[in-house]
Amino acid sequence: MLITASKAIMDPDKNALMRLPKTVRFQLMVVLSCLWSIIFCVSAGLIVWLPGYILAHVALLLVGIFGTSWAFKQAEKYRSNMRANA
CA-based torsion, 43, 7, 16, 18: positive or negative: positive
> Is a pLDDT exceeding 80 seen at residue 11?
no
Rounded mean pLDDT, 12-28: 81
Confidence of residue 52 (pLDDT cuts 50, 70, 90): confident
> Is a pLDDT exceeding 80 seen at residue 64?
yes
Check if the beta carbon of residue 12 is closer than 8 Å to that of residue 24. Answer: no
Summary mean pLDDT of the chain: 81
